Structure 1
Amino acid sequence: MNPARRSLTLLVASACLLLASGCDGKGNSAPAGTSAAQAVASASASALPLASNSPSVSAQPSPSVSAPAATDTPDPISMKLAGMTLEEKIGQMLLVGIQGKTAGTEAKQMIAEDKIGGIILYSSNVGSLKELVQLTNALKQSNEGNPAPLFMSIDQEGGKVSRLPADYAAFPSNAAVGAADDADAAGTMGELLARAVKSSGFNMDFAPVLDINSNPDNPVIGNRSFGNRADLVTRLGLAEMKGLEREGVIPVVKHYPGHGDTSVDSHLELPVINKTETQLARLEWLPFQAAIKEKADAVMVAHILYPKLDPDRPASLSQVIIGQQLRGQMGYDGVVITDDLTMGAIVKNYSLPAAAVDTVLAGSDILLVAHEYKNEQAVRTALLDSVKNGTISESRIDESVYRILALKAKYELSDQPIPVPDLTGLNSDIQTWRKPFQQNK
């Protein structure tokens, strides 16, 4: 979508939402006769403007954040961006993990003081259903007054990568669903996953896995993949992605350029794959290219070294793999998220501050820092210093923050608290859906 048309889409969606609700976004009635343009301008001066929640409405921003030509009303996201400080912009690019099952002092500091853009929760953060909802609500409450709602994210794939409390009916692995080769079932899986994570307060799921399980000795992917064929992984993975979208949860496809042929776990060490660009294009890239054609909202990039593509930096830090190939050749202009920068693949081989700067220069938008407050502080400081000393231009930061704000607007993210859900209906639906896959577990 060209910049002018995209901006018009966002403006119209924002104005329609404001005028339909008859308020200014703070609960105050809008004056009679308020125009769409006036409504959008008013909203963007005080809160993140919202676009349509329908997954069919594209809100993909261009790499440029300059005001689009041939329009009388400024782009509301550009207006929001123009009112943010450098510190607030850098904060939006950080998605961080926290300690414990409650919103502790460090978590609240990262949100209130560092203005971080998102949180990821792991099994160590998850207690009972009630405790989890209290946690997500408390984190959102800490974000009050910040420029945009939080990404509340989780790894909920099914099978062995399931973070939700035991109150939820279990999801089978992707491999079990893949064995049935049923795209409709994979689509339903996406919908059910979205309903599950949304009911606990999440709005982003690091799924689907688009890795092709081509190496039987792979220690980290295995049954997390739908299978060992590109066509199978593509069909089922895209169906799951669209199912998540339909239920209003942001899917993050992973792990570009493909983690299926590694023999090392990147949580522990840096995997090395000696494949050429031509070889990747024939297999690993295929599901990701298909997802890009289907307007994937976000792509996670893996910590894998491809010496024949870039001998010095893994994919997650590589201008060749992110900038030239993903953004350039494949034409992807959505949100790029790194895998966790505190994994062994990075911290055992690279300086964390230098890695943070390298990945932004390469084209990443969101830096995942899953462990330890000191690591978040180091990454934040490195990015701030890099802009102040000219290593990274502020316009480059603006490109990423525009994409982030546009994605939050597209899904109408909110920091409003949610009640503890009744899971009776959801669990019944999951149990009914999963019956055909029980034998494939």
Structure 2
Amino acid sequence: MSDPSLERLANATLLAPFPGATPPRWVLEGLERGMSGVTLFAINGNVPGTGELAELTAALRGHADPLISIDEEGGDVTRLAHDTGSPYPGSAALGALDDPAVTRQVFRSLGAELREVGVNLDFAPSADVNTADDNPIIGTRAFGSDPELVARHVAAAVAGLQEAGVAACAKHFPGHGATSQDSHLEIPTVDADLSLLERRELVPFRAAIDAGVATIMTGHLRVPDLTGDTPATLSHAAVTGLLRGALGYTGPVVTDALDMRAASGAVGIPEASVRALLAGSDLLCLGSKEFEDSVRAIREHIVEAVRQGRLPGERLEEAAARVAGLKAWLATAGSAEIDRAAGLEAARRAVRVTGSPSVSPNPFIIEIQAPSNIAVGPVPWGFGPWAPDVVPVEAGDADSHGLLERAHGRSLVIVVRDAHRYTGHRALVSTLLAARPDAVLVEMGLPVWRPEGVTYVATYGATRANARAAAEAIGLLRPVSGDALT
């Protein structure tokens, strides 16, 4: 195998990031030399607006036929709407609604938005079964905790995205939902034997495969009975043995971002890339900050691994063939119409209300700030766009007496996000409710913690659509049929 052809095969495994809204020369040259594509990140300035994004993707396509990937789940994890919050409810809300036809409709519209700006590979949906309440990385990103429910909505989401001409990517194989660690920071463990894995984690992935999912993403998590201490991304038993062998999946396998500590913290990104390819992955998502020098080092390390005989050249040829098949499918894929009204209507139908949450026209709204995980990022959330008097507070610094004084004579609304995960948040809410039992408590994360006797609204997500639906549910806004968020 000649050096130029070997370098081209190594390039075919790479999904590179880059800074800014204009593709740098090294990216364009890489595409011309066989690099499969790019991954776009809002934190890199790749998505300043839809117009600029469409211009960026057009520039990329002017030099090759690239995969243009993004992490757009349409819920709390959004890149297209990172500055406003998504106009679509997330997976947890769709799972609570449990109408697969609506899930398919929402993901079809989301796919249409992606296709309109030139994105053709979406790292969604999450096929994780969220069985750990304290899961720091999945939570509302999952459709729920029941494997069969998750499976039918994963299949619907895959169908919707791909009807819009965008390749779906079920993640995070073999399932991140039973973990209590964040794989950005450490290697999470799924404490399940193979029998439990089959009955729980693998059910949605089988449904995704049956639905014709275009790609599947590995998770950087270990399952001791399957992978030992090795994360699944780097495990031949997980990727080749289980996913390809037992489950019969034949399409491209994509790694989760290899800059995450769970994948590369011990060995570095170039070596993690080689090990992921050996395990059976075909496309390497490198992370958000692995620019020109890093990409070069990764490519050279892959080439050297082939020369040393550590990595068979046939493995690269196999990966390149799968990627070529994906691109061929995209060349003939269909399209769909954007339907944001479907997103808002789904968010409305997903809201669950206990009690009678009618508030006065000028309520006092306290929002207890919750940290976003790395996957969600700094996306705005809450009632700000819909209410004139919203007070964000940090639970540890809050003056409950002062807040209650400000709320005197007005309806009080307390907004939380995953209150079950934060002792200080629950303590502050309990203090406020003791003085104001007439207050309305709005939970914009998972409704795990629910005080007795309180008027309670659960949105199952913190997107712009979820917040609008909650504002309507408490009487702050009047629902308008056919309305859509812009």
The Cα shift of 1:206 comes to 0.7
Q: Distance in 2 between matches of 1:181 and 1:396?
A: 41
Q: Distance in 2 between matches of 1:199 and 1:437?
A: 27
Are 1:150 and 2:74 matched, yes or no? Answer: no
Q: Per chain length, whose mean CA-contact separation is higher, i.e. which structure has more relative contact order (CA < 8 Å, sep 6+)? A: 1
2:23·2:60 contact (CA, 8 Å) conserved in 1? Answer: yes
2:39·2:68 contact (CA, 8 Å) conserved in 1? Answer: yes
SS, match of residue 411 in structure 1: helix
2:170·2:215 contact (CA, 8 Å) conserved in 1? Answer: yes
Identify the residue that residue 49 of structure 2 maps to in structure 1.
128
Q: Distance in 2 between matches of 1:130 and 1:190?
A: 21
The Cα shift of 1:438 comes to 5.6
1:137 to 58, 72, 75: 58
Alpha-carbon distance change, 431 to 273 in structure 1, aligned in 2, over 3 angstroms: closer
1:396-420 CA deviation, whole Å, 9 max, x = no partner?
A: 2111111110111012079xxxxxx
**Pairs within 5 Å for 1:97-108:** 97-108=17-28
Which segments of 5 or more consecutive residues in structure 1 lack a partner in the other structure?
1-81, 415-422
Please, which moves more after superposition, 228-237 or 289-298?
A: 289-298
> How many residue pairs get matched?
345
2:78 to 147, 152, 162: 162
The Cα shift of 1:347 comes to 2.7
Q: Distance in 1 between matches of 2:172 and 2:102?
A: 22
Q: Distance in 2 between matches of 1:312 and 1:259?
A: 16
1:324-357 CA deviation, whole Å, 9 max, x = no partner?
A: 1111111111111110111121232223222111
What is the identity percentage for the equivalent residue pairs of Structure 1 and Structure 2?
Answer: 35
2:78·2:86 contact (CA, 8 Å) conserved in 1? Answer: no
Q: Distance in 2 between matches of 1:256 and 1:427?
A: 30
1:169·1:431 contact (CA, 8 Å) conserved in 2? Answer: no
The Cα shift of 1:156 comes to 1.0
**Pairs within 5 Å for 1:13-28:** none
Alpha-carbon distance change, 302 to 106 in structure 1, aligned in 2, over 3 angstroms: same
Please, which moves more after superposition, 191-200 or 115-124?
A: 115-124
Alpha-carbon distance change, 173 to 430 in structure 1, aligned in 2, over 3 angstroms: closer
SS, match of residue 100 in structure 1: coil
2:89·2:344 contact (CA, 8 Å) conserved in 1? Answer: no
SS, match of residue 52 in structure 2: helix
1:99-122 CA deviation, whole Å, 9 max, x = no partner?
A: 122223443343345x31011111
Identify the residue that residue 311 of structure 1 maps to in structure 2.
228
Are 1:222 and 2:143 matched, yes or no? Answer: no
The Cα shift of 1:90 comes to 1.6
Are 1:86 and 2:10 matched, yes or no? Answer: no
Identify the residue that residue 32 of structure 1 maps to in structure 2.
none
1:317·1:358 contact (CA, 8 Å) conserved in 2? Answer: yes
The Cα shift of 1:168 comes to 9.1
The TM-score normalised by the length of structure 1 is 0.73
2:76·2:85 contact (CA, 8 Å) conserved in 1? Answer: no
Are 1:294 and 2:211 matched, yes or no? Answer: yes
Look up the equivalent residue of 1:383 and give its one-letter code.
I
SS, match of residue 309 in structure 1: helix
Are 1:372 and 2:285 matched, yes or no? Answer: no
2:217·2:255 contact (CA, 8 Å) conserved in 1? Answer: yes
What is the CA RMSD across the aligned residues, in angstroms? 2.3
1:168·1:196 contact (CA, 8 Å) conserved in 2? Answer: no
Are 1:436 and 2:349 matched, yes or no? Answer: yes
Q: Which entry has the higher C-alpha Rg, 1 or 2?
A: 2
Identify the residue that residue 78 of structure 1 maps to in structure 2.
none
Are 1:239 and 2:152 matched, yes or no? Answer: no
Q: Distance in 2 between matches of 1:344 and 1:169?
A: 28
Are 1:185 and 2:106 matched, yes or no? Answer: no
